[in-house]
Homo-oligomer: A and B are copies of this chain.
Amino acid sequence: MSDQPTSKEDHPTGEGFIPHLAVDAVIFGFHDKQLKVLLMQYSKTGLYALPGGFIRQNENLNDAAKRVASERTGLTDIFLEQFHVFGDLARHDPTPFASFMAANGTEPDADHWLLQRFISVGYFALVDFTKVTPTPDKIFDSCGWYHLNALPPLIQDHTAIVNKALDSLRIMLDDKLIGFNLLPEDFTMGDLQSLYETILGKSLLRPAFQRKMLGLGILERVAKKYSGGAHKAPYLYRFVYK
């Protein structure tokens, strides 16, 4: 879609985009019991922000979220899910955009469309951060993974957006696990428990965890193949609807 304007420099009037409405993506990365989040740094400002952008007049909202996340970060094929809309007046803070534009050679008018109030639809995704290489677009100097417990200050209400995304992810985990496609096709109960523990940020007791997971009806046990000493290997499971 590089033939259409997508970044701030490209659409000084906002034409072709829905005004006052944005999308922001909280992309969680997990691996080896670590949970991180993907942040961008606006060019020449040092300001950290979630990857975000705007919705075209002729574009589905969910497609806009995918496009924006892909353009900003270089990530494709991630499963983005809506979790909350941030629409308080108090979140309106034009200073980061004004700083960005000033640092990059533009002095915006006070009524510039980017400095107006935005309501933002929050999306989250969960990926294995060792399997993706985020790449910033031209309006950002960097794009990288930050530990959730050591985030830098973020612009506007983006820290609150991250926290709300984490709450939502934890509540929706049982329902979203299949869609997020985080595990290999066949996995052990230990793999699954480790994933849950990383996201929930706490240890779980194996028997209760296993009972709950089997009770959800989303797992099937894979028939063991005979391979000599393999009878001591743990059972493998896969998602029923995968």
Q: Which residues of A contact B (CB under 8 A)?
A: 18-21, 55, 57-62, 64, 82, 84-90, 117, 119, 121, 171-172, 175
Residues of chain B lying within 8 A (CB to CB) of residue A20? 18-19, 21
List residues of chain B with CB within 8 A of the CB of A87. Answer: 55, 60-62, 64, 121
Interface centre among A21, A58, A87, A121 (most CB of B within 10 A): A87
- A60 to B91 CA separation, bound complex (whole angstroms): 10
Q: For the complex, what is the distance from the CA of A82 to the CA of B120, rounded to whole Å?
A: 13
Q: How far is the CA of A20 from the CA of B172 in the complex (A)?
A: 29
For A85, list chain B residues within 8 Å (CB): 61, 82, 85, 121
The interface residues of chain B lying within 8 Å CB-to-CB of A57 are: 117
Nearest opposing residue in chain B for A118, CB measure? B18
State how many copies of this chain the complex holds. Answer: 2
Most B CB contacts (10 A, CB to CB) among A57, A62, A85, A175 go to A85
Q: Are B119's CB and A21's CB within 8 A?
A: yes
A60 touching B82 by the CB < 8 A rule?
Answer: no
Chain B residues positioned under 8 Å from A86 (CB to CB): 61
Given contacts A18-B20, A171-B175, contact A88 B117 (CB under 8 A): no
Measured between beta carbons, the chain B residues less than 8 angstroms from A61 are 85-88, 119
CA–CA, A112 and B83, complex, Å: 32
Selected A-B contacts with CB under 8 Å, 10 pairs: A18-B19, A18-B21, A18-B117, A60-B88, A61-B87, A61-B119, A62-B88, A85-B85, A85-B121, A171-B175
Excluding A18-B21, A85-B121, 12 further A-B contacts by CB distance (< 8 Å) are A18-B19, A18-B20, A18-B119, A20-B21, A21-B21, A55-B119, A59-B89, A61-B85, A61-B87, A62-B88, A64-B87, A82-B84
Given contacts A82-B84, A172-B171, A175-B171, contact A58 B89 (CB under 8 A): yes
Chain B: which residue is nearest A20 at the CB level?
B18
Closest 3 A-B residue pairs measured CB to CB?
A61-B87, A60-B88, A18-B20
**Which residues of chain B are near A117, meaning CB under 8 Å?**
18, 57
Q: Which of B60, B119, B121 makes the CB contact (< 8 A) with A89?
A: B60
Q: Name the distance in Å between A57's Cβ and chain B's nearest Cβ.
A: 7
Q: Once the chains are docked, how many angstroms separate the CA of A21 from the CA of B117?
A: 13
